[in-house]
Structure 1
Amino acid sequence: MFSLEELQGIRNQANQDYKARYSDVLEPGDEEMFLKPEEEGLLCKIVAETGLRFGDDFRPAIWPSVRWIAFTYFKRFFLRHSTMEYSPKNIMMACYYLAAKVDEFNISIDEFLVNLRSGTPQGNAETILTLEPELMLKLDYHLTVHSPFRSFEGFLIEMKARLQLGFDLEQIRDHSTRFFKRALIGDCLLLYSPSQITLAAVKYGLQQCEKEEIMKDYLAKIFEIDTWKSDPEDVKKMEGLAQRIDQIIEFVFEQAKPIDSEANGSLQDRMREWGTFSARIEQRRQAASGNPNSNELSDDDL
């Protein structure tokens, strides 16, 4: 996990590292043609929104944990690499395919490809299967991801057992599921632990059902808070966790706000400019190195 400042620094470095590859062949004014880190972030957000819809429409119905793992891979990958180097769309599809294997959601490559609406089956298969081992390498083979769904079920069971609810806790499930999906769009899973994200999802569900006081009672049970003889340190810890939960909810929905049409259109224009420019500087680099071949992905895939 990282802080926001650390994330920004890492992404800026990935952006600079990619630019540095072409430093020997750049001409005056070329620097402005590269995507800025903010534009790369916007592109990843657009692909994340598309990735959510892909998971919703996937057949057979994909497990929520598979999607969580896929998005974790996606976000970790682009901490090390620029979207100018790898197509976010292609990486997202490779992440889904790898996540299905890791989570033992058994599906063949042919069954997976049926869910893709663009490209040809042969081309898509080649792209995904080529990226799969590279994706594992770039992740240092750290493929285990702790998703929040098991702890969500655990919290519900514990709340039902320890609290006098007078309320069907299952009513929060749909609201909490929506929260988990929104959490995948931004950087939440890089900033907070799965258990804290889960508590935020539970509280959000309770808020939507106007039962927010249940969360207060549950936190008091966890920290064994008693009005008359509680340790001040325990009270402080409980209040700190309650504040962190509220912070997560606010952060998730702030980062999940839809991209306005003007920003989207501006990015599309930049991507077209970048596609033309990237082909030009790649030709310069190949000419300078005397190598007419390139192993990089086509920028048309961005």
Structure 2
Amino acid sequence: MKASVIMSTYNAEEWLEKVIWGFSVQTEKDFEIIIADDGSRPKTKELLDRLRQEIDMPLVHVWQEDNGFQKSQILNKAIMASSSDYLIFTDGDCIPRQDFVATHIKFREPGYFLSGGYFKLPMDISIAITKDDIVSQRCFDVKWLTGMGLPDKNKLKLSAKGFIASFLNFVTPTKATWNGHNASGWKTDLVFINGFNQEMQYGGQDRELGERLFNKGLKSKQIRYNAVCVHLDHKRGYVNEETWKKNYAIRKNTRDNKVIKTPVGIDSNE
């Protein structure tokens, strides 16, 4: 397979189903979907068992027991469960446009990782989007979203194409960092740095991984206006100041000491 798509989830079946329908209609079909499940209830497995019969690409469910926010650990387990040498990362709340996988494959290059973004949707539109809206790609149409009540905001992420998209990637002040909702890289690079730091809970664990890839000598490409996904709204009950401080200290150590391999990562799960 050309790629493995790894997406995280936790007790969010309604959003996860919408995301999987988005991947079911990709222009590029030669990939697998790996669900990195951080301890969801049985409803998630039931959903995946049903969808596995309705979509064309392989759907792999990697699950671990619920032990609080342990996203880094389940992502590492998903990395090792992947069958491809190229890994695309997203979240179970980001619906991809139909050229999402093809775009990551098009721009991949040895010595680089790819950095994308997302377009945030409000809760009312997130709830209203149906399977038909996803399959028809209406949920990426600016006019349709405006008609659904999308507030007046910059919609270039959805409308930019071709040269304009490339130009906007070039001039954007946003750095090409590793963003967990839309990033990709070579499996060999991710395994070499020992994957995600499992000491980190919510808050910057994806950026820290990217910083270690930079320390390894990799460069990054900006594809935020090429690889498009819409983000479904949700609450974040797992955010707290203590965790942020701990994670910031780990990131500072990674930068200051040019850390490449995390001491608590993939090999901690063996």
Task: Considering fraction of residues, name the structure with more strand.
Answer: 2
Band the TM-score falls in, shorter-chain normalisation = under 0.3
Decide which structure has the larger Cα Rg and report it. 1
**TM-score of the superposition, structure 2-length normalised?**
0.27
